[in-house]
Amino acid sequence: MKQFQPESIRNVVLLSHSGAGKTSLSEAILFNAGVINRLGKVDAGTTTSDYDPDEIKRKISISTTLLPYEWQDTKTNLLDTPGYSDFAGEVNAAVRVCEGAIIVAAASSGVEVGTEQAWQYCEDAKLARFIFINKMDRENANFDKITGELQTKFGSRCIPLQMPVGTHTGFTGIVSLLTMKYYPGEKGEESEIPAEVKEQAVFLHDKMVEAVAETDDSLIEKYLNGEELSQQELLTTLKKAIINGDITPILAGSALQNIGIKRLMGAICDYLPSPQGAKIRTTPDSAVKDIITDTKGPQAALVFKTSADPYVGKLTYFRVYSGEFESNSQVWNINQNSHERIGQLFIIRGKNQEPIAKIGAGDMGAVAKLSITATGDTLVFQDKSVKVAPVTYPNTTFNVAVLPKTKADVDKLGSSLTRLAEEDLTLLVHRDPDTGETILSGLGETQLEVAAEKMQRKFGVGVDLKTPRVPYKETITMAAKGEYKHKKQTGGHGQYGHVILELEPVPGGGDNVFENKVVGGTIPKNYIPAVEKGVHEAIKEGVLGGYPIVNIKTMVLDGSFHPVDSSEICFKIAGAGAFRRALTEGHPILLEPIVNIKITVPSDYTGDIIGDLNTKRARVQGMNPEGDFNVIDAQVPLSEVMRYAIDLKSMTQGRGIFTTEFSHYEEVPSHITQKIVAEHEAEKQKPAG
């Protein structure tokens, strides 16, 4: 592929609800551009974009795929993104490195949750965008109905630039409301508008002209005075309005039939912005701030994706914002504050890699086997100080405990999880200090299931995913004493340690305290640390459910020793035994973690959400309206919201979001305590292994 200047490049992200046909659309585009010689099918697993085994198996896009092609002397980097919300991190990264977007909506389904989310991505990133109504060849396809829905949801700036002729099996082609010509079939050769749709085409053409004129003061004056607007005036003003976000054109077609796709490809070249001269978003600590996309500017590239390729190793995808990058050169990684050696550069298309000597400003490419560079890093020459703002990712909301299947899997678990988290920055790994479990956090159940399958396939590590254990704690409600005498007599030296302890609850909570109150040397001072060690070991496991003990003051009151048989180990055993006996006498209770939860949902769902929270022992703290949404604040036991990501998605059709943060510990109600204790006892009775 030849070098292109920034003005001849388009970076376009494909967005939609899952199943609207983005991948089929990208396949048709590549076919028309001559990049592939036959149309692959999602169901058959033969598309250029969905090549990963997990994508072929599930028939959905899981990661963003880069698909460059040439059309009308313009290079377009098309980024096909997942439509499923569990993989929103991939979408965030793709949106960050593009100037334009195509929101794909299915003619038979209308505006769906994912369509609304795609629109919001574009609004947040201020992307110029088209809406492409796909699947006009499907049963129940209704262009007028979906256009009305789009205008109701997103405003009157959504204006048809095209009109389909026929629907379902009668769908034959599209009419351009700009040229007022008809483009039938796959070839789309220009012809006259069929008589039966001429009147509707004229009506929609007039509406479009009026909408374009309204975005320009001089043009609207001319229009209102009844003067004819020239084609050139119309096109120039339309392009400006699309780039400024004043107009969002609606186009139509069928990706599977390859009808209307060439017109869409032409529109991308004609109306979506190039990177040339675009202001580069930098971080607050970037030494250079005012910088634009320019081949002659200071070298700066942002890493927006990392993948572990089984053949090439680590593959790093980057977007060049300024300057040029050459194969076999040395760059400076600002984030890691270190040199990085760049080997052979590639143009990536799906899973195929094409070597290239140089990648310039506004373009995208990849390089293999970088040693220190991670997603979000900025690469520059060392004497320049540009730091490009990285991708921002959504917060994780769903956790699973990762359990290795075999001893061999245990050894490889840590490294494989680290490599997964390098690929997908919405995956977080940590070890829960209270339960000892390895926790994998992400955006949803499907994402984490895919991660587990990937670990098996790529790294040969088998794991089971389970709901994490709740980190309960135990404490006492009243002061209590405990006495334990460890005494064994065998041939030679015996064993002897005798300890009397008193436990008190620490008022208002706080750290566990140990205090020596022995007087008169009934326990020699040199054995007190051994008693404390025994208490510390016993504190790790309570008497109700085996959970750690908190908020307790332990006082050593008395005991006795034997001048020959006593030892540190004897007093350690006696200390632990006395502590457990005192614990049993102190009316022990279970404590559970309470979290603050903030739920943002469309107003229509508020009643359902609050009703559901009430079944989860939650205390609603307040509710604040924010536009069409309500923000509900509540406190709820962690045990009740371990799988809340799934519940909320189900109750709001994916429109709700939530965050949680730890608040405090509270006593578990007695009926739930009984259940937890019974489960603990049953677990203890199970045979080992």
CATH of the domain at 293: 2.40.30.10
Q: Which residues contact 586 (CB under 8 A, 6 or more apart)?
A: 476, 477, 478, 479, 480, 503, 505
Spatial contact of 275 and 364, defined as CB atoms under 8 Å apart: no
DSSP-assigned beta bridge partners for residue 630: 601, 625
Q: What is the pLDDT of residue 16?
A: 96
Q: What is the largest CA-CA distance in the chain?
A: 118
Which CATH number do you get for residue 158?
A: 3.40.50.300
Q: Are strands 473-476 and 480-488 parallel, antiparallel or unpaired?
A: unpaired
CA proximity to 523, closest of 544, 554, 545, 501: 501
Lowest average pLDDT, out of 62-66, 174-178, 458-462, 573-577, goes to 458-462
Distance CA 597, CA 145 (A): 38
Last residue of a domain, one of 569, 586, 603: 586
Provide the pLDDT for residue 686: 74
Nearest to 571 by CA among 514, 513, 487: 487
Residue 212: predicted pLDDT: 95
Q: What is the rounded CA–CA span in Å between residue 358 and residue 98?
A: 20
Neighbours of 673 (CB within 10 A): 18
CB 303 within 8 A of CB 318: yes
CA-wise closest residue to 359 among 426, 436, 289, 303: 303
For residue 688, pLDDT over 60 is answered with no
How far, in whole angstroms, is CA 600 from its chain's centroid?
A: 17
Residue 526 has pLDDT above 90, yes or no: yes
How high is the pLDDT of residue 10? Answer: 98
Q: Name the domain count of the chain.
A: 5
What is the per-residue pLDDT for 308? 77
Give the model confidence (pLDDT) of 360-395 as tens digits.
999 999 999 999 999 999 999 866 778 999 999 999
Q: What is the pLDDT of residue 51?
A: 86
Give pLDDT, residue 385: 78
Cα–Cα nearest to 675, from 587, 579, 592, 572: 592
Distance in Å from the first CA to the final CA of the chain: 59
What is the three-class DSSP state of 189?
coil
Tally of CA atoms within 13 A in the half-sphere of 241 that contains its CB: 24
Task: Give the integer Cα–Cα distance in Å for 378 and 376.
Answer: 7
The mean predicted confidence, pLDDT, of the chain is 93
Q: In the block, which residue shows the tokens 């479009």?
A: 208
> In the 8-state DSSP scheme, what is residue 621?
E
- Asked, for residue 688, whether it belongs to a domain, the answer is no
Both 76 and 151 in one domain: the answer is yes
Cβ distance 452 to 476 under 8 Å? no
Query: What would the mean pLDDT of 143-164 be, rounded to a whole number?
Result: 96
At 534, the pLDDT band (50, 70, 90 cuts) reads very high
Q: Are 196 and 100 in a shared domain? A: yes
Q: What percent of the chain is predicted at pLDDT more than 90?
A: 80
Torsion of CA 268, 270, 271, 272, to 10 degrees: 50
pLDDT band at 155 (very low <50, low <70, confident <90, very high): very high
pLDDT tens digit sequence for 40-67: 998 888 999 988 888 889 989 999 999 9
Whether 177 is in a domain gets the answer: yes
Domain boundary residue, one of 537, 567, 586: 586
Same domain, 478 and 377: no
Range of the domain at 405: 398-466
pLDDT digits (tens, 9 = 90+) for 570-618: 999 999 999 999 999 999 999 999 999 999 999 999 999 999 999 999 9
Phi, then psi, of 395 in degrees rounded to 5:
-70, 145
CB 368 within 8 Å of CB 262: no
For residue 396, give both structure tokens: 């994780």
pLDDT in tens, 6-17: 999 999 999 999
Calpha distance 173→262 (Å, rounded): 11
Q: Are 499 and 644 within one domain?
A: no
Q: What CATH number corresponds to the domain at position 661?
A: 3.30.70.240
Specify the CATH number for the domain of residue 416. Answer: 3.30.70.870
pLDDT digits (tens, 9 = 90+) for 245-304: 999 999 999 999 999 999 999 999 999 999 998 999 999 988 888 889 999 988 999 999
435 C-beta neighbours (distance < 10 Å), count: 16
Place of tokens 């076919």: 31
Tell me what the mean pLDDT of segment 3-30 comes to.
Answer: 95
Helix (H) or strand (E) holding 438: strand 438-442
Q: Quick one: what percent of the chain has pLDDT higher than 70?
A: 98
Q: Are residues 128 and 184 in the same domain?
A: yes
- At residue 459, the pLDDT reads 86
Decide: 227 and 150 in contact? Cβ < 8 Å: no
Residue 232 lies in a domain: no
Residues contacting residue 606 through CB under 8 Å, at least 6 positions apart: 623, 630, 632
Residue 512 sits in the same domain as residue 616? no
Q: Is the dihedral of CA 226, 231, 233, 239 positive or negative?
A: positive
Reply yes or no on whether the pLDDT at 689 is more than 60: no
Residues 442/80/147/142 CA torsion (nearest 10 deg)? -100
Instruction: Examine residue 482 and state whether it is found in any structural domain, yes or no.
Output: yes
Confidence class for position 310, pLDDT limits 50, 70, 90: low
Q: What would the two tokens of residue 429 be? A: 């790994």
Within this chain, do residues 185 and 254 fall inside the same structural domain, yes or no?
A: yes
Least confident of 163-167, 312-316, 410-414: 312-316
Distance CA 115, CA 222 (A): 36
Does residue 498 form part of some domain?
yes
The answer as to whether 677 is a domain residue is no
Please check whether residue 642 lies inside any domain of the structure: yes
What pLDDT score was predicted for residue 685? 79
| 150 φ/ψ angles, rounded to the nearest 5 degrees | -60, -45
What pLDDT score does 357 carry? 94
Are residues 517 and 597 located together in one domain of the fold? Answer: no
Based on the domain organization, do 570 and 627 belong to the same domain? no
When pLDDT is averaged across residues 305-326 and rounded to a whole number, the result is 86
| Inter-helix orientation angle 231-244/195-213, to 10° | 60
The stretch 61-85 carries a mean pLDDT of 95
Residue 674's pLDDT is: 93
Distance CA 114, CA 95 (A): 15
State the pLDDT at residue 435.
Answer: 87
Residue 85 lies in a domain: yes
The answer, yes or no, to whether residue 132 has pLDDT greater than 70, is yes
Question: Does residue 263 sit in the same domain as residue 295?
Answer: no
d(CA 120, CA 601): 15
3-state secondary structure of 513: strand
DSSP string computed for 31-91: HHTTS-SS---TTTT--SS--SHHHHHHTS--S-EEEEEEETTEEEEEEE---SGGGHHHH
Task: Tell me the C-alpha distance between 466 and 224, whole Å.
Answer: 66
- pLDDT score at 312: 62
Q: Are residues 604 and 643 in the same domain?
A: yes
Give pLDDT, residue 682: 86
End position of a domain, from candidates 566, 586, 606: 586
pLDDT band at 491 (very low <50, low <70, confident <90, very high): low
> What CA–CA distance (Å, rounded) separates 663 from 621?
13
Kindly state whether residues 510 and 654 are assigned to the same domain. no
